Amino acid sequence: MTTQIKICGLSTEAAIDAAIDAGATHVGLVHFEKSPRHVSLERAAELRKHAGTRVKVALLLVNADPRLTGKAIGDVRPDIIQFHGSETPDWLKLVGDNSGLEIWKALGVRDKPTLARSARYAGAAAMLLFDAPAKALPGGTGTSFDWSLLAEHEHQLPWGLAGGLDPDNVTQALTDTGAKLVDVSSGVESAPGVKDVDRIAAFCQAVREFDPQTRSS
Ligand SMILES: O=C(O)c1ccccc1N[C@@H]1O[C@H](COP(=O)(O)O)[C@@H](O)[C@H]1O
């Protein structure tokens, strides 16, 4: 199975096309005003339409209240909602049951107990995204964490790796963790919120070269 690649924080049609052309399986749209990658719901809906069925589209929310969550789902109609705050399993289950959408939950990994507690999302999230612990922002900071924690962990849910990935370190990250999905934002930018087409291509190429099935030689 090929590694799944999510390029997050896209805000232009050109960046979405670049991600798809490079072989991304998922793209992410961030609706969180404090983020340099924030897009309005109206803009997110346009970008979502542009992506169409060529790629799975995740809408990223951070501790959005029920009204905003419902509006975001209705306006944007993503394939996936990525919750990147301190949302509870009960809330995720409610949203998943009511929307029928795939639910992802990002968790900041500080230590082994954090990972152990991630099992409480079983039945509520289809995918866990292990990211660096929150700093001033809950994600999208280009910070990584101790990947050896993941290699030692007995995973109960499907999971992906996020946090500080870039074209130069993603091969090592895949080797160290065995992740089947990688998620990147800052590492494929030329400045915060500005995606770099060449870095997106380099990131995807590094992942594809790691995948034995798609290795060209
Ligand atoms: O991208 C953002 O601005 C963002 C804002 C708030 C929460 C999460 C955000 N992005 C997600 O964070 C991780 C790691 O990002 P990075 O590669 O370290 O920049 C990833 O899941 C992004 O989707």
- Centre of ligand 1 to C-alpha 198, Å, is 19
Q: What was the pLDDT predicted at 212?
A: 81
Buried b (16+ CB within 10 A) or exposed e, 2-18: ebbbbbbbbbeeebbbb
Question: Is the CB of 69 within 6 Å of ligand 1?
Answer: no
| Cβ count near 128 (within 10 Å) | 23
Given a cut of 50, the residues of the chain with pLDDT beneath it are: 215-217
Q: What was the pLDDT predicted at 5?
A: 98
Domains in the chain: ranges and CATH: 4-214 (3.20.20.70)
- Centre of ligand 1 to C-alpha 159, Å, is 16
Q: What was the pLDDT predicted at 139?
A: 87
Phi-psi region of 77 (alpha: psi -120 to 50; beta: other; left: phi over 0): left
Rounded to two decimals, the ipTM of the complex is: 0.97
Helix (H, G, I), strand (E, B) or coil at 66: helix
